A = this chain, B = another copy of it.
Amino acid sequence: MRIAIDAMGGDHAPAKILQGAVEALALLEPGDELILVGDKAVIEQHVGAAIAGKPVRIEHASQVITMDDSPVEAIRGKRDSSIVKMVKLAKEGQADAIISAGNTGALVAAGVLMLKPLAGVERPGIAVTLPAKGGFVMMIDAGANPAAKPAHLHQYAVMASLYMKALRGIEKPRVAILNVGTEDEKGTQLVKDAKELIKADASLNFIGYVEGRDIPKGPCDVLVTDGFTGNVVLKVIEGWSEALVGAMTKELMAEGPELAAKFQPVMGRLMKRYDHEEYGGALLLGVQGTFLKVHGSGGPRAIKNAVGAAKAAGRLGINAAVEAHLAPKA
């Protein structure tokens, strides 16, 4: 498997991203190859010695899309950026998987606009994992497609169910739709129409509506929503966790540094459980190849785990399963 890594994307690029790539070498099997995409001189300076003689090649890209760049403008204007080059590699069949911690908007725009959708898929969706009791909930879509239609939500349910089955061995993942209540009459027309489509698909294990409040309780394996709501939910969770932990740290320091020090390991264990670096990134489901978005603040471990996830996704044949399910039958 040929796995391309965006060496220039993310808050800790290039040093920590490249460190992660070097650590990920331990996961490679015979025939696997890493492709580091970015400024050749910079990459060689950082990890030239570490990758010598290893199955790694460098693909030079002279530009970088920053977090401040406007997504669509950036992928149009910066044709020689690491993101555009990396997605091109996937498009041209030169990479089987691509991994980046860079500008999410630009990455998704590049993925959606440049990569071929899988046969039968109308819109790609971003599947993210939210920590929950007993494991995690896979929420889809986290922002690829803000103006979703009922048929898109049905396809998300299918794709994420196949992904969860492959990833966790759950025979019939429990599928729910995110809604403002659990009663039948609740919600928008989108939610109601999507419900009918999902309920009617006998291959899916639909369990009903789930409210935002109950997500941490792990009421379902797959949580379907439109990209606007999903993106807002993901960001609210992130912002709220940060705010709560920040406020707690401040209160602890006010109480005395001794208590703060004692609290350190507790906080550490807690954060580990809520740590996005564990999950190998968000998967853009519905496009050719394997497309993983790592959190912008992701470090070496996040990159290494993303390489592991990419290999798993490839091995599990998610895309073939999606096409077998959704492609129009001849």
The answer to whether the Cβ of A187 comes within 8 Å of any Cβ in the partner chain is yes
Knowing A185-B70, A243-B216, A248-B266, say if A211 contacts B228 (CB, 8 Å).
no
Instruction: Tell yes or no: A233 within 8 A of B by CB.
Output: yes
Q: Could you tell me which residues of chain A, from 221 to 238, have a CB within 8 Å of some CB in chain B?
A: 227-229, 231-238
Query: Contacts of A241 on B, CB cut-off 8 Å?
Result: 240, 244
**Binary B-proximity of A52-81 (CB < 8 A = 1, otherwise 0):** 000000000000000000111000000000
Which residues of A approach B to under 8 Å, CB–CB? 70-72, 105, 143, 146-147, 178, 180-181, 183, 185-189, 191, 211-217, 227-229, 231-245, 247-248, 251-252, 255, 259, 262-263, 265-266, 269-270, 273-274
A183 touches B247 (CB 8 A): no
C-alpha gap A294/B297 in the complex (Å): 38
**Nearest CB on B from A32, distance (A):** 35
Q: Are A212 and B187 in contact (CB under 8 A)?
A: no
Given the known interface contacts A180-B231, A183-B70, the answer about A214 and B239 at a Cβ–Cβ threshold of 8 Å is yes
Known: A244-B241, A259-B263, A265-B255. A143 touches B235 (CB 8 A): no
**When A and B form their complex, which 5 residue pairs have the shortest distance between CB atoms, in order from nearest?**
A216-B243, A212-B235, A213-B239, A212-B236, A213-B235
Q: A252 near B266 (CB under 8 angstroms)?
A: yes
- Tell me the complex Cα distance, A262–B232, Å: 36
A243: chain B residues within 8 A (beta carbon): 216-217
In the complex the two chains form, what is the Cα distance from A236 to B234 in whole Å? 9
From residue A73, how far is it (CB to closest CB) to chain B in Å?
Answer: 9
Are B236 and A213 touching (Cβ within 8 A)?
A: yes
Would A180 and B227 be within 8 Å (CB), given that A263-B259, A263-B263 are in contact?
yes
